[in-house]
Amino acid sequence: MAQFDDLPPELRAAIWGYTLPEDENAIYIYNPEWANEFFPSSRPRGPNSDANFNPCLPARIQVPIPGVYNVCRDARPVVHRWMAKNNLEWYDRQETSERILVRPFDVQRDILYVPQDEWDMFEGFVNSDELDPEEHQNLRNNIINLAVSADSMSRFDNAEHIARLMLRAPNLKKIYVIFNDLPASRRSQHTYQMVWNGGPIYRSSSDARSLHSLSLTKRLIFIGWTGTIN
């Protein structure tokens, strides 16, 4: 009986390739350091300015290492090509002494989630021009897919703030309203896609999440269910 190793190398490579997942969008949980990336300077200029500031690494999405990577040497070149295609790289995470795969946060498809307890700081800073109007606008230009908690969206005093952000963020396409809590960080769920912000690892669940989408097209709002996000 023919064995897998008896197949031509190009056919084996094609089979390994079919086992690799398509890279998907993810939820990146907002933290105050995120804003500092838009204010290039030797000291922080975002909402959490601190004299003892250590510059944070750019926002990164952690991607699960494909199981085939450790199956055999034959599969590794295929995984390396898949990594190059998806802009993935290895990173030695000191906090957990593990080597992980990461990719840059992609504003075009990933979702910036602002938790309820961070909304006031986020909104106050994003909607202001207190530091540098040009850099503030650059920050707003990079808000494309935004997620907020249902509580933040439903509070009457937030309506004006959200409307102002919609007007001042010209590339904002969707606002996702999260009706249930995100999983707690550091839960051991390997089926989750994980989001890393240079500090803690956050995971966006692949199940049990209802997202309500407000799609912005020519300033008209269409409401519809978008399902789950992995």
Interhelix angle 119-126/133-141, rounded to 10 degrees, is 120
Identify the pLDDT of residue 144: 93
Identify the pLDDT of residue 33: 67
- Nearest Cα neighbor of 101 from 84, 121, 120 is 84
How far is 77 from 159, CA to CA, in rounded Å? Answer: 51
**Residues in contact with 89: Cβ distance below 8 Å, sequence separation at least 6, in sequence order:** 83, 101, 102, 103
pTM: 0.69
Other CB atoms within a 10 A radius of the CB of residue 81 amount to: 14
Q: What 3 state SS string does the chain have?
A: CCCHHHCCHHHHHHHHHHCCCCCCCCEEECCCHHHHCCCCCCCCCCCCCCCCCCCCCCCEEEECCCHHHHCCHHHHHHHHHHHHHCCCEEEEECCCCEEEEEEECCCCCCEEEECHHHHHHHHHHHCCCCCCHHHHHHHHHCCCEEEEEHHHHHCHHHHHHHHHHHHHCCCCCEEEEECCCCCCCCCCCCCCEEEECCCCEEEECCCCCCEEEEEEECCEEEEEEEECCC
For the chain, 230 residues long, the average pLDDT of each consecutive 10-residue run is: 81 90 86 72 48 55 90 90 93 86 90 88 82 84 90 80 88 85 44 38 36 42 35
How far is 210 from 187, CA to CA, in rounded Å? Answer: 20
Identify the pLDDT of residue 220: 31
Q: Are 153 and 177 in contact (CB under 8 A)?
A: yes
Identify the pLDDT of residue 78: 94
Interhelix angle 133-141/159-168, rounded to 10 degrees, is 90
